[in-house]
Amino acid sequence: MDIEEKIRTLQEKVESELGSCSDAKGVEELTVRFLGKKGEVTSLLHSLKDLPKEQKPLVGKRVNELKGKIQEKLEAALAQFAQKELAARLASEQVDISLPGKRRFRGNRHVVLDLLQEAIDILVGMGFSVQYGPDIESDYYNFEALNFAPDHPARDMHDTFYLNTETLLRTHTSNTQVRVMEACPPPIRVIAPGKCFRNEDVSARSHVLFHQIEGFYIDREVTLADLLHTLKSFFSKLFPNQELKIRSRPSYFPFVEPGMEVDICCFVCGAKGCPICKHTGWLEVAGAGMIHPEVLKSGGIDPEEYLGYAWGFGIERLAMLRYGIDDIRLFLENDARFLQQF
């Protein structure tokens, strides 16, 4: 069979087999068979070396023309099948846009953290700066520097999680107080928000984990009246729609002298008495007082020249008051039905 016969036979063979292809995969197999490294067209090109020298240019041109025509037909068939297969796939995977979509619920900040941030914003607006202390603290900054002697009976007021004899989970954010005094000269006007940990029996009123904001102001001629006015201003901003009644009672805390507890009229029961307010109509929200001279000395501040006040209040208690919640345990139970209300 001469070369022209081979070219014609090969062209007819490609057209015949291409006509019987039913998908893109079949066309790809034909491409490999005819145009691959060991394909029939490639073999035909390699056979040119056996022809007389004067025939090679003409026959080579005819074989290359054949290769171009076959490649063009195969590519056209491949594109046609690919288009059909894409249309079929799109039809089978069509989305029914009349079906209702899946609702996605956006998360929200926890009610306690939300109120904590609101309290911080109010106090920053009143001129306080924000400082954070460590959750894992030394006995010195948590107790000793705040006028708790090693054998001081007031330590029994704090049921503490000790990691070892010198390290503990802080029982109050007051651990930031002396740290700030050591780093900053007066005047100092600081709040210290964060988590606190106490090894207490969990009940409707108390939990092992709670959030607190410690606040203190140190300057010359600071008075107890300044403290009371600051607290009243803060609570009136935090509860703008409530008929606010505040009272203070003398109380003992080692780090203040004189010390007091601050109560707010119970909004949960309307001051009629409930388990949250121990049926008194009042809920304790803060411990406060004038900073003890020994605490000022621990921070490197002369108590003969400077005075200061301090307070600490629990955010969970304030949230219970604002939203009429009668059980502090609800904040940590992760019940979506409860949390979604806020």
Same domain, residue pair 197 and 299: yes
Whether the predicted pLDDT of 187 surpasses 60 = yes
Q: Please list the residues that pair with 260 across neighbouring strands.
A: 250, 288
Same domain, residue pair 68 and 119: no
Whether the predicted pLDDT of 212 surpasses 60 = yes
The domain that contains 221 carries what CATH number?
3.30.930.10
| DSSP assignment of 221-275 | T--HHHHHHHHHHHHHHHSTTS---EEEEEE--TTEEEEEEEEEE-TTTTTS--T
217 — pLDDT class (breaks 50, 70, 90): very high
Whether the predicted pLDDT of 55 surpasses 70 = no
Q: Is residue 106 in a domain? A: no
Mean pLDDT score across all residues of the chain: 85
Instruction: Pick the closest to residue 322 from 210, 227, 244, 219 (CA basis).
Output: 244
299 — pLDDT class (breaks 50, 70, 90): very high
Same domain, residue pair 123 and 84: no
Same domain, residue pair 36 and 155: no
Integer CA distances (angstroms), 214 to 29, 106, 153, in order: 78, 32, 22
Question: What's the pLDDT score for residue 70?
Answer: 78
Q: Is residue 104 in a domain? A: no
- The backbone torsions φ and ψ at residue 117, rounded to the nearest 5 degrees and listed phi first, read -65, -40
User: Which of 14 and 306 is assigned the larger pLDDT?
Assistant: 306
The model's pLDDT over 237-283, given as tens digits with 9 standing for 90+, comes to 998 887 788 899 999 999 999 999 998 888 777 778 777 777 888 88
Distance of CA 231 to the CA centre of its chain: 31
pTM exceeds 0.85, yes or no: no
Q: Is residue 25 in a domain? A: yes
Same domain, residue pair 40 and 122: no
**Looking up tokens 């490999």, which residue turns up?**
32
The model's pLDDT over 32-50, given as tens digits with 9 standing for 90+, comes to 777 777 777 777 676 666 6
Integer Cα distance of 259 and 128 in angstroms: 21
For the chain, the farthest-separated pair of C-alpha atoms sits apart, in whole angstroms, at 121
Q: Is residue 228 in a domain? A: yes
Q: Is residue 101 in a domain? A: no
Q: Is residue 107 in a domain? A: no
Question: What's the pLDDT score for residue 158?
Answer: 66
Q: What's the angle, vertex CA 297, arms to CA 292 and CA 298, rounded to 5?
A: 95
Integer Cα distance of 40 and 270 in angstroms: 97
User: Which of 261 and 150 is assigned the larger pLDDT?
Assistant: 261
Domains contained in the chain, number: 2
Same domain, residue pair 251 and 294: yes
Identify the domain containing residue 31 by its residue range.
Answer: 3-92
The model's pLDDT over 224-245, given as tens digits with 9 standing for 90+, comes to 999 999 999 999 999 888 778 8
The model's pLDDT over 74-91, given as tens digits with 9 standing for 90+, comes to 788 788 888 888 888 888
Same domain, residue pair 9 and 82: yes
Integer Cα distance of 194 and 211 in angstroms: 6
Question: What's the pLDDT score for residue 50?
Answer: 67
